[in-house]
Amino acid sequence: MKIVIDNQAKLHLRNAYDYIKKDSLQNAEKVREKILASIQGLIKKPEVHAPDKHKIKNDGSYRAYEVTNTGFRIIFQRNN
């Protein structure tokens, strides 16, 4: 499985990192690493995440999950 992070997602992650960094560089790095690690985890078991219930006309290929204690929701499309 190949993972592609689109530009909008990269921008959101960068903005969150910059915002958190204003208070704590260490926390900003922890959040970023946690999010990126969770995305890398998709390679092994993408099917453990439920179909995205907010996606209109989802054929089941769009899935989503929240990264614990970050406020981030990851949405991805699984292509067969």
Q: How many CB atoms lie within 10 A of CB 74?
A: 19
Q: How many domains does the chain have?
A: 1
What's phi and psi for 53, nearest 5 deg? -75, -10
> Is residue 1 one of the residues assigned to a domain?
no
Tell me the mean pLDDT per 10 residues along the chain, length 80: 89 96 97 95 90 94 94 88
**Cα(61)–Cα(39) distance, rounded to whole angstroms?**
16
**Cα(60)–Cα(39) distance, rounded to whole angstroms?**
19
User: According to the model, what pLDDT value does residue 75 have?
Assistant: 94
> Is residue 18 one of the residues assigned to a domain?
yes
> Is residue 24 one of the residues assigned to a domain?
yes
**Cα(10)–Cα(16) distance, rounded to whole angstroms?**
10
Its domain, for residue 26, covers: 7-77
> Is residue 2 one of the residues assigned to a domain?
no
